[in-house]
Amino acid sequence: MKSPIPDYLKQVLEHVRPQDGGTPADYIETLAKADTSRLAVALAMVDGQIYSAGDDTVEFSIQSISKAFVYAMAIEDAGLEAVLAKIGVEPSGDAFNKLSLERGSNRPMNPMINAGAITAHLSNLSVDEEVYEAELRDADRNMGIGYMLKAAGIITCVPREAVTGYIRQCSINVNVKDLAMMLATLCNAGIHPVTGESIIPQTSVRQVFSVMTTCGMYDAAGAWVSRIGIPAKSGVAGAIIGALPGQVGIATFSPRLDERGNSVRGVKICERLSSDMGLHMM
Ligand code: DON
């Protein structure tokens, strides 16, 4: 029997399509020129089934969504205790690009803000060179954060290397189906739903989902949790990921952002999915 889910996802996209408020990120030249008509959603179930609608093969840079996965990799690489010694788990209540170091320990408040992500950075993947070069041309703020982290004794490497690595990590190309499957892997206790490969230990998944819940949507995290109620993370190219652990990974894409850097239509899609499918954790 044909699944009704793809038709439902198309309806959800048509429902949010007229909501065209917001603007694409303007501080990265390539993102400022984004085609704002783009709109996509994908759901990946923990049994490996994937459903999608709209511009589901269009690629965009992963941006801050990479922070959730790089945090998991840092825990894998150095162990949770060592990571916690350098990066806190408290919401900063501030924009993603504020320094937000914890008083006393000097640790970045959490791994979802830039200071925490620059500290956790270790990835080495292929990137969209145009987005990378565009952001690097205008990276004074992130370079400043890198130098402050070095001065505070949190990182010990050359700050420029940590920041350029972080910007490359943000420039990795993905589409909504890739993101949904990455998330379904986390939702499936760190085991890839299709290959059965164990990618991330369950203890790290719990840690990642915890900080996504409290810090993933930055200074909109409280409103997000009360309205939509699932762990989530946004990126300035216009993607949002949301997770229902044990069940489904969700990814949306639409480039226009609200004043907090979260995709306007993406938030609406997640609101609709959460209410229709009863996803809220409460
Ligand atoms: O650090 C930056 O400015 C970006 N490359 C990533 C920011 C981002 O995606 C914020 N999320 N909504």
SS3 assignment for the chain:
CCCCHHHHHHHHHHHHCCCCCCECCCCCHHHHCCCCCCCEEEEEECCCCEEEEECCCCCEECHHHHHHHHHHHHHHHHCHHHHHHHCCCCCCCCCCCCCCECCCCCCECCCCCHHHHHHHCCCCCCCCHHHHHHHHHCCHHHHHHHHHHHHCCCCCCCHHHHHHHHHHHHCCEECHHHHHHHHHHHHCCCECCCCCCECCCHHHHHHHHHHHHHHCCHHHHHHHHHHCCCCEEECCCCEEEEEECCCEEEEEECCCECCCCCEHHHHHHHHHHHHHHCCCCC
Burial status of residue 141 (CB atoms within 10 A of its CB: 0-12, 13-18, 19 or more) = middle
Mean pLDDT of all residues in 124-130: 75
Is the CB of 135 within 6 Å of ligand 1? yes
Ligand 1 centroid vs 46 CA: distance in angstroms? Answer: 28
Q: What is the mean pLDDT of the chain?
A: 95
Ligand 1 centroid vs 82 CA: distance in angstroms? Answer: 25
- From first CA to last CA, the distance across the chain in angstroms is 33
Ligand 1 centroid vs 204 CA: distance in angstroms? Answer: 23
Is the CB of 114 within 6 Å of ligand 1? yes
Tracing tokens 């952002």 back to the chain, one arrives at 257
Is the CB of 60 within 6 Å of ligand 1? no
Q: Among 123-132, 146-155, 250-259, name the one with the lowest average pLDDT.
A: 123-132
Let me know: does 51 contact 9? Beta carbons within 8 Å: yes
Nearest CA to ligand 1 atom 12: 235
Ligand 1 centroid vs 267 CA: distance in angstroms? Answer: 17
Let me know: does 58 contact 82? Beta carbons within 8 Å: no
According to the model, what pLDDT value does residue 127 have?
78
According to the model, what pLDDT value does residue 2 have?
77
Distances (CA, A) of 257 to 2, 24, 46, 63, 101: 35, 5, 29, 13, 26
According to the model, what pLDDT value does residue 20 have?
81
According to the model, what pLDDT value does residue 3 have?
82
Q: Which two tokens stand for residue 37?
A: 């008509």
Q: Which domains does the chain have, with CATH numbers?
A: 5-25+34-59+173-277 (3.40.710.10), 63-89+96-170 (1.10.1500.10)
Tracing tokens 């609709």 back to the chain, one arrives at 272
According to the model, what pLDDT value does residue 1 have?
67
- Over residues 184-211, the pLDDT tens digits come to 999 999 999 999 999 999 999 999 999 9
Is the CB of 274 within 6 Å of ligand 1? no
Q: Which residues pair with 42 in a beta bridge?
A: 52, 251
Mean pLDDT of all residues in 96-102: 96
- Over residues 46-79, the pLDDT tens digits come to 999 999 999 999 999 999 999 999 999 999 989 9
Confidence (pTM): 0.93
pLDDT of 99 strictly over 60 = yes
pLDDT of 281 strictly over 60 = yes
According to the model, what pLDDT value does residue 218 have?
85
Nearest CA to ligand 1 atom 7: 64
What amino acid occupies position 70? Answer: V
Is the CB of 142 within 6 Å of ligand 1? yes
**pLDDT confidence band for 118 (50 / 70 / 90):** very high
Ligand 1 centroid vs 219 CA: distance in angstroms? Answer: 13
